């Protein structure tokens, strides 16, 4: 990986390549987020108003539709590997670029390269965790949404059925969850971290260019 990064860096320069890899990571994470919410929207499309209302027969029919849609959407499972592979390869490539810079930098630039390498390592860990949480959230929604339509949560009369089941679906997807268990919030943290890595990468690249120019102009 490091030798491949070295060849690319000789051709295009490490700065632009690192920026392209970071953009690819952002696009891959956005693809994973969109794919998750698209599947959830397709699954819950028949729910309508309170899973068919107070009629237990109507709720049973909606639950059967949800089960059928869940089984049909399971065939889309291999597609979620595309963003996983994209994120992994792009971040490993970015870390290889940082390792390439480490071998050629010294002083403060070397320390900055170590920090940028650690930043990309943290981004890799967060991205894999977020993608895992998205898949776990999808499995929870696909498994428990039919049961949520069948259970009458308004039996005590304190909460309307529509509101109660809306709360259930929110819990299954993204609301009312701690930060580290909420894939959408974790994806936002990851996007902010990648933005910081982009800015740091550009600043480091410019600092390296200035140092090289100063060294070449020195007598």
Distance CA 83, CA 27 (A): 8
Task: Work out the pLDDT band at 125, boundaries 50, 70, 90.
Answer: very high
Q: Of 2, 146, 182, give the one whose Cα is nearest residue 61.
A: 146
The answer to whether residues 22 and 201 touch, using CB atoms and an 8 Å cutoff, is yes
Distance CA 52, CA 42 (A): 17
Mean pLDDT to the nearest integer, 146-166: 58
Phi, psi torsion values for 156, nearest 5 degrees? -80, -10
Q: What is the mean pLDDT of the chain?
A: 75
Number of CB atoms found within 10 A of residue 92's CB? 16
Q: Which tens digits make up the pLDDT trace of 178-211?
A: 444 578 888 888 999 999 988 888 887 777 767 7
Q: Which helix (H) or strand (E) holds 20?
A: helix 14-43
Length of the chain: 219
Residue with the bigger pLDDT between 125 and 148: it is 125
pTM (two decimals): 0.75
The answer to whether residues 165 and 148 touch, using CB atoms and an 8 Å cutoff, is yes
Q: Of 172, 152, 168, give the one whose Cα is nearest residue 40.
A: 172
pLDDT at 138 over 60: yes
Buried b (16+ CB within 10 A) or exposed e, 161-190: bbebbbebbeebbbeebeeeebbbbbbeeb
pLDDT at 9 over 70: no
Residues 90, 91, 93, 94: is their CA dihedral positive or negative?
Answer: positive
């Amino acid at each position: 990986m490091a030798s491949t990064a070295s060849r690319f860096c000789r051709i295009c320069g490490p700065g632009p390549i690192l920026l392209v890899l970071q953009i690819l990571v952002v696009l891959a994470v956005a693809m994973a987020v969109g794919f998750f919410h698209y599947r959830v929207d397709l699954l819950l499309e028949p729910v309508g108003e309170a899973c068919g209302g107070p009629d237990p027969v109507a709720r049973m029919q909606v639950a059967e539709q949800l089960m059928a849609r869940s089984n049909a959407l399971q065939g889309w499972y291999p597609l979620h590997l595309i963003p996983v592979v994209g994120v992994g390869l792009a971040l490993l490539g970015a870390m290889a670029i940082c390792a390439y810079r480490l071998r050629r930098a010294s002083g403060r630039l070397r320390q900055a390269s170590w920090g940028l390498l650690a930043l990309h390592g943290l981004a890799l860990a967060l991205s894999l965790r977020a993608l895992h949480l998205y898949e776990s959230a999808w499995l929870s929604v696909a498994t428990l949404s039919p049961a949520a339509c069948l259970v009458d949560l308004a039996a005590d009369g304190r909460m309307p059925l529509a509101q109660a089941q809306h709360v259930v679906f929110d819990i299954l997807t993204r609301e009312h969850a701690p930060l580290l268990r909420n894939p959408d919030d974790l994806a936002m943290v990851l996007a902010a971290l990648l933005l910081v890595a982009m800015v740091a990468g550009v600043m480091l690249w410019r600092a390296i260019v200035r140092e090289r120019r100063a060294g070449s102009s020195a007598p």
